[in-house]
């Protein structure tokens, strides 16, 4: 029985290390590579949950109280590590999604350099007129 719990404990440790490596891969990847890394990380989290469950079930079967106590303390430590890494994954994933959404937002489409006040005001009025026309077309499509 002790060998079974030791197997699951070791697997839990290895999987947490792999999860850390996958999280680091998300941070350095871009584009499709990042999406693949996020997917791999999500799959590893599912796998870790199953290993965690198996480790807990095996721990219940250990009859020697000293061995059970040792592995229980070790498993609780790994559970804390897992929770920390899961939170880190969520933060990295959110940060990656934000950067993907805003990667073109810093480019200025409209430049004001070299333009006078009258030119800027007429440009703003033109944009406002186009917006009103667009809204009117949208309202027309909704009413149809």
Mean pLDDT of 112-137: 84
CB 42 within 8 A of CB 25: no
Per residue in 81-92, pLDDT (tens digit) is 999 999 999 999
CB 59 within 8 A of CB 70: no
Q: Report pLDDT for 99.
A: 76
CB 78 within 8 A of CB 12: yes
| Local confidence band at 27 (pLDDT 50, 70, 90 cut-offs) | confident
Task: With a cut of 80, say whether residue 115 has pLDDT above it.
Answer: no
Cα separation, 41 vs 39, whole angstroms: 5
Q: Report pLDDT for 135.
A: 87
| Local confidence band at 41 (pLDDT 50, 70, 90 cut-offs) | very high
| Local confidence band at 1 (pLDDT 50, 70, 90 cut-offs) | low
Mean pLDDT of 6-32: 90
Output 1 or 28, whichever has higher pLDDT: 28
Per residue in 50-104, pLDDT (tens digit) is 999 999 999 888 888 898 899 999 999 999 999 999 999 999 988 888 877 766 5
Token code pair at residue 97 = 């999604």
Mean of all residue pLDDT scores within the chain: 86
DSSP 142: H
Q: Report pLDDT for 136.
A: 86
């Amino acid at each position: 029985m002790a060998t079974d719990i030791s197997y699951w404990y070791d697997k839990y440790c290895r999987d947490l290390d792999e999860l850390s490596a996958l999280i680091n891969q998300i941070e350095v990847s871009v584009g499709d590579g990042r999406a693949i890394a996020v997917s791999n990380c999500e799959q590893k989290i599912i796998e870790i949950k199953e290993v965690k469950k198996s480790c807990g079930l095996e721990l219940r079967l250990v009859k020697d109280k000293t061995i059970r106590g040792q592995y229980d303390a070790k498993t609780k430590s790994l559970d804390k590590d897992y929770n920390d890494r899961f939170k880190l994954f969520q933060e990295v994933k959110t940060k990656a999604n934000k950067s993907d959404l805003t990667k073109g937002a810093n480019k200025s489409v409209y430049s004001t350099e070299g333009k006078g006040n009258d030119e800027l005001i007429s440009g703003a009025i033109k944009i406002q007129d186009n917006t009103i026309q667009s809204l009117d077309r949208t309202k027309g499509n909704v009413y149809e």
